[in-house]
Amino acid sequence: MTLSLSGRLIEVEYRHCDMPIHDFLRFARSSGFHAVELRATQILDETTSDEATEIRRQSLELGLGISCVNVPRLPENGEGLRALKRTALLVSAMGCATLKTWSTNAEWIRTACDALEPHGIGIIAQTHTGGPFETVSSCLDAVARIDRRSFGLQYDPANLLEAGEGYGEDAVERLGGNIRQLSVQNVRLAQADEPGSWEHQGRRYVRCSLGDPAGLDYDSVFRGLRAIGFDGFVTLNEPRPAGDERGGFARQAAEELGRLIQKAHIVKIE
């Protein structure tokens, strides 16, 4: 498994990142990660092929992979498909083989997979509340409708918890090889008036650190990953922490994820 850090950690209200991408690469490596997930606020329409090549050069120098690149919500028409192909060329120049889409349209995703296949680029969608990737059953239905080997899921247990779904070992095994990457963020049930909490489907949640006994049972998740032979990217997908103590937050998360991998006796950490 390869530990990856999402640019979400340095993102401000989904609008921009407060750290230049080259600083982010160094930050990720110094925090204990060996790959990065780049957000749509980091790889922009204005990003040039020369800039993509430089990102590749620096990532190689640091020993970093690029787990995936997020694309913004695109119009699901010819214009959107052309934009997707432009992004695919940049992604290829970075040495990355995966785009992350927020589309929920099976027909569009299938068309996008066909368009990107000649470039050697696959597509993943994050399991998320609302839409066809909300539950284990709906994910299986969506994957069957898309019906492309180059499509898979970025499995996010926290979003399944909010959807009222089981998210541990059994759920992982049901999805099996459809899981291409793991997205990690931790939440727990919250009190009605707890600061920083939010409500979904009549229950309140609040973010918590990895290893919090009241949070998600990631030991169960990793047992499931071991059972299906998963050896892909494990991406910390947390937003900016309170107080902006990102350095210590990222290092602690990397250490906890390393412990989870070792405890599950999966493959060596790269």
pLDDT tens by residue, 240-264 = 887 668 999 999 999 999 999 888 7
* 206 phi/psi in degrees, rounded to 5: -145, 150
pLDDT of residue 269: 46
Q: State the pairing for strand pair 65-70/11-12.
A: unpaired
Strand partners, 36: 5, 66
Tell me which CATH homologous superfamily contains domain 2-264.
Divalent-metal-dependent TIM barrel enzymes (3.20.20.150)
- pTM of the predicted structure, to 2 decimals: 0.94
Which residue ranges make up each domain of the chain? 2-264
The low-confidence residues of the chain, meaning pLDDT below 50, are 267-270
pLDDT of residue 263: 85
How many other C-beta atoms can be found within 10 angstroms of the C-beta atom of residue 252? 16
pLDDT tens by residue, 150-196 = 999 999 999 999 999 999 999 999 999 999 999 999 999 999 889 99
